[in-house]
Structure 1
Amino acid sequence: MKTFTKNKLLIVSILVSMFYTSNLFSQDAKSIIFNDAKKAYQYAIDKRAEILSPSNFNNGLKYYEKANSAYESGNNLADIKEYLKEAFNYFQKSTKEIDVVEVLFSETLNARDDALDAEADTYEKELWEDAQNEFKDATQKYEQGNSDKAKEKGKKAYDLYRKAELAAIKSNLFNHARQLIAKAEDMKAEKYAPKTLAKAKKSLKDGQAALETERFDTDKPRMLAKNAEYEASHAIYLVNYIKKIDDKDKEIEDLILRGESYLTQIGDVTGISFKFDEGSSVVAEKISANVILLKDSIFKLSHKLNNCETTISNQIKQIAAMGSMQKEQIADASIKQQMLKDQIAYEEKVAKKFDEVFNMFDMNEANVFRQGNDIILRMTGFNFDIGSAEVKPENYPLLAKVQKAINIFSESKIVIQGHTDSRGGDSLNLTLSQKRADAVKAYLMANMPDYNQSNIASVGYGESKPIENNETKYGRSKNRRIDVVIKVKRVLDTANATRTNQ
C-alpha cells in the first residue's frame, strides 16, 4: 500500500514538473524561434538600414510582421520559419553594404543629422519632408545599382537638408538664449554676475555671426547658441545665490567650506575620504582618478556580460535544434547537429581569441569590444596633431599591439576607420579622416609584410559617427579617433567554404 502511494506521488510529481516545463518552453518558444531574425532586425536598426537600404529593410520588416502574425494565429511552424528566414535574409542584405553607402552619402548623412539637431523636422516640416523624400530616392537608386543617379539625388538631398537646417536655426536656435539673457538682465545680472552675463552675450553674438559667415560649419553656431543658453542660466543661478549670501551676511570661509562640502558628498558616495588641507584641486584629481577606475571596471564587466550572453545564446540554439531534430530524418538531424557543434566550437574559439586581444590593451590605450561579428579596437591612446595625418613615433608601441591583435585573427578582413570631431566643415573633416585612416593603413602594411594586405582597407567617416558630446573639449578629443575593425568570419561562411573544397 505504501509502495503504491509512493508511486502515485511520484507520478503526480512528474506530471506537475512536465506541466511547468512545457509551460516554460511555450513561453520561451517565440523568443527562440524569432531570435536570429530579431537580432538581424536590431542590427539593421543600429546601422540605420531603414534610411540607407530602405527597400531591403522594408521587405525584411514585411516578412517579420508576417511571421509574427502567423505565430499569434497559431499557423504552421514551417511557414513561420520560412517567413523569418526571408526576414533575416532581407535584414542581412540591408546591412551588407552599409559601410559603402555611409561613405557614399556621408556628407548627406551629416547634413541630415545637423538638420535633426536644429529640429528642422519640427520647425521646417515641408523642407524636411522634401529632403527625406529626395534622400529615400537616392538610396533606392543605389539599391537598384544606379550609382550615378544615387549621387545626384544625394547631392539634392544634401542641399535640402542644409536649407531646412538653416531655416530652423534662424527661427529657433537662438530664441531660448535671447529669452534667458533678457531674464538675467531683468534680475540685474549686470550687477551681480557681470562676467558670466558677458560670456552669454558674447556667445550669442559670435553664434549669430558664425551662422552667416561660416555657412558650411553649422556645428559652431549651434554650440555657441547652447553655450549662450548655459551661461545665461548660470548667470541667473549666480544672481539668486549671491542675493542669498548678501541676505545672510556669509563670510568667505563659509563659501569655501560649502564648496568643500559638495566634494565631500561625492566622496561619501564613492567611498573615499577627502582632506582639504592641500586645497580642492587635489581632491578633484582623486575624484577623476576614481571615476576612471570605475569606468574601467564597468567596461570589463560589460565584456564578461557579453561573453555570458554569447554562451547562453549558443545553449538556446542547441536546445532549439535538438527539439526540431526529433521530427527530422536521422541523417539530416545528424548533419544539423554537427553543424551546430561546429558553430558553437567556432564561436568559443573566437571568444577565447577576443579575450586574448581584450587583455592585451590598457584602457588608456584602447577600448576593445564586440559589435555583432566585428571586434572593434577603439584606440583611445592614439593621437594626431590638429589638422595633421602624420603617424607620430609616440604611437608606434600602440600600433605594435594592434599588429599582434590583427595576427590573432589572421584570416579576417580589417577596416581602419578614421573619425574627426565636428569642428570645421564636413568636407574637410571627411578628407582629413580618410587621410588619417590611410596613414595608419600604410604604417601597418609597411610593418606587416607577410600579412595578406588585400585584407586591409581604410575608410574615413569625418564627423558622422561621434561617440561623445562634441560640445565639450573632452568629447571632441574622444571623437578624434582611429577605430580598427576586425571583421571576423561567420562560422557558416567557413563551414560552407570547407564543404565546397571537399
Structure 2
Amino acid sequence: MTLRRNKTLIAMTFALGVAAGCATKPPSFETIASSANPSTEIERTDEMLKDAKDRQVDVLSPENFTDAQKSLEKAKKAKDKGKSNEKILESVAYSRGWLKEANEKADIAQTSLKDISDARAGALRAGTPTLYKTEWNRAENDLEDITTSIEKGNLTPAEKRGDKLTAEYRELERKSIIKAQLSRAEDNIKAAKKDGAEKRAPKTFNLANMKYENAERLILSDPRNLEAIRRASEDATQESSHLVDVTRKVKAGNTEDLVLLAERQQRTISSLRGDYTSSEQELQRKEQELQQSQTQLDAAARERMALAERQGQLEQESQKSQNLSATADRIRKQFKPSEAEVFTEGNRLMVRLKALQFATNKSEIGPKSANILKKVESALADVNASKVTIEGHSDSTGDPEKNVELSEKRAEAVEKYLVRNGIVAENKVEAVGVGPEKPISDNTTPQGRAQNRRIDLVIETE
C-alpha cells in the first residue's frame, strides 16, 4: 500500500476537520434559497447520498457520511411536521455540507486504501454480503476501524492491517464466486458420490470432477475473468448433471459402458432423424445411414478408448497441477505477505521477492535482503527443482540498456548467494536481466519504482 506519501496531506486535511466531526453543522456549506422547493431539494440530496454510497463513501468516511444522513433525516422530519421552508432547507444544506466533507476525505482515503477498495469492490460484485454474511461483517468492521482512524488523521491501523484486510476481501471474492457459480455442480457430484458413482461410473465421475476442479482453479487464479469462469462453470454443471443421470441408470442394473454407448446411439439416431425429409429419395438415403450406424458405433467405441487414454493423461496433468499448488502453499507459508508473493504459472512456481529491494543503480544485497534469501533457502529445501531462473527487474528511470545491465547484475548477485550457500546447484540456476520491461507497479512514484526493482524466482520442478 502507498500510505506514507499521504501522511502529510491527510494530516493537513483533517487537522481542521477533526474537531468539527461531532458538531451540529459542517465546517462549510452553501445555503439554499428559501424560495426552493423542499421536496425537490430533499429528493436531490437523497440521490446524492445514494451515489456517494455506490462509490463507497459511507465506508471511506463513515462519520461525515452518517452526519449527512442524520441532517437529511432531520429535514424530512421537519417537513412532515410542517416546519418552515427555511428550517427544512437549512438541514438539507447541512446534509450537503457533511456530504462534501465526506467526499473530500473519501477521495484521500481512496488513494491510501486503493488496494482495499478494489478488493472490497470485487467481493461486493461477487455477492459476498449475502453468501458469507458473517465474514463480510467482520471485514467491514475492520475496515470501519481503519477508515475512521484515517478520517481523524491516523494512518497506523491502515499500515498495520491494510494488507491483511485486502487479502481477506480477495479471498471472500473467490469463495463467493465459487459458491455462486459451482454450488449446483458440487451438489450434483456429492449426490452422485453418495450413490456410489466412483465405483459405478468412474469415467463419468472423473470427467465431472475434473471439469469442476478446472473451473475452481480458474476462479482461484483469475476471479475477474468472468466470461471464462461462466463457460467453465456451465461446463462443470452440465457434466455433473450428466453424472447424476448415468449413475442412476447404472444403479438400475446397467453398466457405465452400455449407458454411454446407448447415449451415443441415441445422439446418432436423433441427428439422422432431425435431417429426415418426406421425399422418397431422402428416405432411402436415411435408411442407408441407419444401416451404417453400426459402423459408426464401432468407431465410437474406439473413440471411447482413445478418450479414456486422454482422460488418464488429463488426470496425470491434474495431479501435477495439484502437487504444484500444494508446493506453492508450503513455500507461501515461509513468508509474510509483505515479503514475497508465491503463485503458479503454467507448470512453474513463481516466487516474487517483494521485500528483496535494491537502491537506485545498486546491485548489492543488504542485510535485510539477506534475511529474505535465508527464507528462500528454507522454502526451497523440499522442492525438487530441475531449474531456477532468477529474473532481475528494474524501474524505468535512466537509460534502458543500462537498466537491463543493472537488473542482470542484481540477478547475478542473488545467483551467487544461492549457489555459495548451497541453496541451488550451480548447474540448475540461471540469472537473467529483464530490465524495466515487466513492471508490477507505477513507475511514476518512488514507492512504485522501489517495487519494480525486484527479483522473481521462476522454479521448474521435476
Higher relative helix content: 1
- TM-score band, normalised by shorter chain: 0.3 to 0.5
Larger radius of gyration: 2
**TM-score when scaled to structure 2?**
0.39
**TM-score when scaled to structure 1?**
0.36
